[in-house]
């Protein structure tokens, strides 16, 4: 099929363009990386050429010498090819540390694991291929435009007998990762897709979700996690290695373009899984009114940072100010009419206004959520109607809120600055000293004595880097549930540490045996009877429950000295 022909002056670039090299010449420039991929795949030469190398050739046939970006990472000729190959290599390498079909039998895993590894490699290879459809216009010398949906770039060049081609970048192109599914037809033959789909219904959907950028928070996608982590590593390494091309390479303007996706995914993940992000609830991070959708700031940024820290993504900004700058530049956040990045909003029932950022669209946070949370009746940026003073005075002072119930309204008894009082009211960290006695509720970590209270850090997991990332993510969610306002507690403190029911791992599609092995390997477990079994049974929420105990030194925000010394019983 012929491509549309347009005047050369309209589309052709004034630069000398790119040479229409044969595919073998392209691959010879990446012989070092191909050799590393072959070693990682662990197959003989024939099998490697029939599976992995054939996919690399088809991908090179699609992207040829195209750069990945105009002036950022992998912006040199052949950058998109190198980017895909490096991400696929690190993704394939990461599969060695993961069990994809943990609930299956050994024979089923032996059958499915090679398919999972191949799908992960494909997802890494095509993770940025959507750019050829959304960011780039390619023409030959007469000005004919490459029809990227119809055939690969190399095939089109051969069809047109072109010895050079020219590149133009679409102005203000928007990253549309969902277009990546159309590039798969150029890279993955139907026979390979059928091989991936044999005797299972999850591998191809997980592959498609990763390539298209569709996050599946209710269905743990290990494949996508490996690709996302590998892409962040590869991009960060490239920016650091080529820092001499930029005057200030660490500014959000130059390095933030690839960070937007991780930050937005973190926003959506928190909105779908964190009780503190349920809209329009007391002390929530999210407020939705007729005047827009707002996030309490910087408390929302701290949640984002904790979530991304567990994913160990290189190059992710740590400071709330940097996160805000990246999302402002990406158009995710909307500044005020005066140009200020933050807004002052007053949630219903609040005594003082709080600082927040405004999202430019509700769909950014609630994409895929059905139904949307109902907005408030009154605007957040104007003073809402308050209760009559007499009614407010009649309200009793609520006690310290417990995690498994809706937090009460804490009225300040100390005169002072209203904003400081409101900040203290909104603080979700547990106050007081940790109780030394076993308890089935984390509320025992708080003291209600009349003595002056000192602020205690938020309870969180401090796991060794060697811990299996899947187990770390699950355990982080469980431990975070002990914080006030995080919803029903999913674990509790005991005399020797923190008791975690085994069913909390099963609920997250992790085999208890896998969790026990991973935690034992990094010596995080406490055994109640020396060399006895790592699990114990105790009453949890009124039900006899089997679980394991995490040593308190791996839990931040608790007083280690309040626990019985577990050193002699470490697992």
Name the H helices within 463-511: 469-480, 503-506
Is the pLDDT at 397 greater than 60? The verdict is: no
Collapse the DSSP code of 10 into the 3-class scheme (helix H, G, I; strand E, B; otherwise coil) and give the result. helix
Q: How far apart are CA 570 and CA 530, in angstroms?
A: 8
Question: Which two tokens mark 447?
Answer: 């003291």
Number of H helices, E strands in the chain: 23, 14
Q: How far apart are CA 79 and CA 168, in angstroms?
A: 15
Say if strands 492-494 and 460-461 run parallel, antiparallel, or are unpaired: unpaired
Burial code (b: 16+ CB inside 10 Å, e: under 16) for 266-295 equals bbbbbbbebbbbebbbbbbbbbbbebbbbb
pLDDT at 371: 66
Is the pLDDT at 285 greater than 50? The verdict is: yes
Q: Going by C-beta distance under 8 Å and a sequence separation of 6 or more, which residues neighbour residue 146?
A: 3, 137, 138, 139, 140, 153, 156, 165
pLDDT band at 373 (very low <50, low <70, confident <90, very high): confident
pLDDT at 571: 53
Q: How far apart are CA 353 and CA 368, in angstroms?
A: 31
Q: How far apart are CA 566 and CA 571, in angstroms?
A: 10
Neighbours of 13 (CB within 10 A): 16
To which residue do tokens 């090819």 refer? Answer: 81
79-83, 207-211, 263-267 — which is least confidently predicted? Answer: 263-267
pTM above 0.85, yes or no: no
pLDDT at 243: 58
Burial label, 42 (beta-carbon count in 10 A; 0-12, 13-18, 19+): exposed
Question: Which two tokens mark 513?
Answer: 């045996």
CA 362 to chain centroid? 19
pLDDT at 101: 59
Task: Determine what percent of the chain is predicted with pLDDT higher than 90.
Answer: 28
Task: Determine what percent of the chain is predicted with pLDDT higher than 70.
Answer: 74
| Averaged pLDDT of the chain | 77
Name the more confident of 213 and 48.
48
pLDDT band at 146 (very low <50, low <70, confident <90, very high): very high
Q: Summarize pLDDT for 18-71 with one digit per residue, the tens.
A: 999 999 999 999 999 999 999 999 889 999 999 999 999 999 999 999 999 888
Question: Which two tokens mark 22?
Answer: 């044969």
Going by C-alpha positions, the residue among 541, 299, 284 that lies closest to residue 404 is 541
Q: Going by C-beta distance under 8 Å and a sequence separation of 6 or more, which residues neighbour residue 403?
A: 441, 442, 443, 481, 482, 483, 484, 485, 486, 487, 488, 489
Q: Which stretch, 40-49, 145-154, 363-372, 374-383, has highest mean pLDDT?
A: 145-154
Q: How far apart are CA 277 and CA 318, in angstroms?
A: 20
Burial label, 261 (beta-carbon count in 10 A; 0-12, 13-18, 19+): middle
Name the more confident of 256 and 119.
119
Going by C-alpha positions, the residue among 567, 495, 571 that lies closest to residue 526 is 571
pLDDT band at 532 (very low <50, low <70, confident <90, very high): confident
Q: How far apart are CA 203 and CA 109, in angstroms?
A: 13
pLDDT at 309: 75
Q: What is the pLDDT averaged over residues 111-138?
A: 92
Question: Which two tokens mark 503?
Answer: 């069913």
Q: How far apart are CA 242 and CA 246, in angstroms?
A: 8
């Amino acid at each position: 099929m012929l491509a549309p022909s347009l005047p050369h002056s309209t589309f052709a670039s004034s630069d000398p363009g790119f040479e229409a090299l044969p595919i073998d010449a392209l691959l010879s420039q990446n012989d070092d990386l191909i050799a590393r991929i072959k070693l990682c795949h662990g197959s003989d030469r024939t099998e490697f050429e029939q599976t992995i190398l054939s996919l690399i050739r088809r991908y090179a046939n699609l992207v040829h010498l195209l750069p990945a970006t105009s002036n950022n990472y992998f912006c040199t000729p052949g950058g998109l090819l190198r980017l895909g190959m490096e991400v696929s290599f690190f993704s394939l390498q990461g599969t060695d540390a993961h069990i994809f079909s943990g609930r299956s039998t050994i024979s089923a895993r032996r059958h499915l694991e090679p398919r999972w590894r191949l799908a992960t490699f494909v997802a890494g290879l095509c993770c940025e291929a959507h750019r050829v459809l959304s960011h780039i216009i390619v023409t030959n010398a007469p000005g004919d435009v490459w029809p990227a949906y119809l055939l690969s770039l190399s095939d089109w060049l051969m069809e047109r007998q072109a010895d050079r081609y020219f590149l133009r970048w679409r102005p203000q192109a928007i990253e549309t990762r969902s277009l990546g599914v159309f590039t798969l037809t150029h890279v993955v033959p139907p026979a390979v897709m059928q091989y991936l789909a044999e005797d299972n219904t999850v591998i191809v959907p997980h592959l498609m979700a990763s390539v298209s950028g569709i996050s599946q928070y209710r269905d743990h996608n290990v494949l996508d996690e490996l690709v996302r982590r590998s892409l962040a590593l590869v991009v960060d390494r490239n920016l650091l290695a080529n820092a001499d091309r930029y005057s200030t390479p660490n500014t959000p303007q130059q390095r933030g373009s690839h960070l937007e996706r991780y930050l937005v995914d973190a926003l959506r993940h928190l909105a779908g899984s964190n009780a503190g992000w349920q809209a329009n609830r007391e002390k929530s991070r999210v407020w939705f009114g007729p005047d827009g959708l707002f996030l309490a700031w910087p408390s929302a940024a701290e949640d984002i940072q904790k979530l991304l820290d567990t994913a160990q993504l290189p190059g992710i900004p740590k400071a709330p100010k940097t996160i805000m700058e990246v999302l402002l530049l990406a158009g995710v956040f909307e500044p005020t009419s005066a140009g200020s990045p933050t807004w002052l909003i007053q949630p219903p029932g609040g005594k003082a206004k709080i600082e927040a950022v405004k999202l430019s669209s509700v769909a950014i946070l609630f994409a895929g959520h059905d139904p949307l949370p109902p907005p408030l009746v009154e605007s957040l940026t104007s003073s809402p109607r308050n209760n009559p003073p007499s009614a407010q005075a009649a309200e009793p002072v609520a006690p310290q809120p417990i995690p498994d119930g809706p937090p009460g309204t804490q009225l300040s008894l100390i005169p002072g600055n209203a904003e400081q009082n409101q900040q203290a009211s909104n603080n979700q960290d547990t106050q007081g000293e940790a109780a030394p006695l076993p308890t089935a509720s984390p509320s025992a970590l708080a003291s209600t004595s009349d003595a002056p209270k000192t602020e205690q850090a938020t309870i969180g997991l401090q796991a060794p880097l060697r811990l299996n990332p899947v187990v770390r993510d699950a355990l982080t969610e469980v431990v975070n549930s002990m914080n006030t306002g995080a919803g029903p507690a999913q674990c509790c403190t005991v005399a020797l540490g923190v008791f975690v029911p085994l069913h909390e791992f099963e609920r997250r599609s992790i085999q208890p045996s896998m969790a026990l092995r991973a935690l034992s390997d990094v010596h995080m477990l406490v055994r109640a009877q020396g060399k006895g079994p790592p699990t114990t049974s105790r009453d949890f929420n009124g039900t006899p429950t089997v679980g394991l105990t995490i040593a308190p030194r791996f839990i931040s925000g608790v007083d280690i000295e309040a626990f019985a010394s577990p050193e002699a019983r470490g697992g």
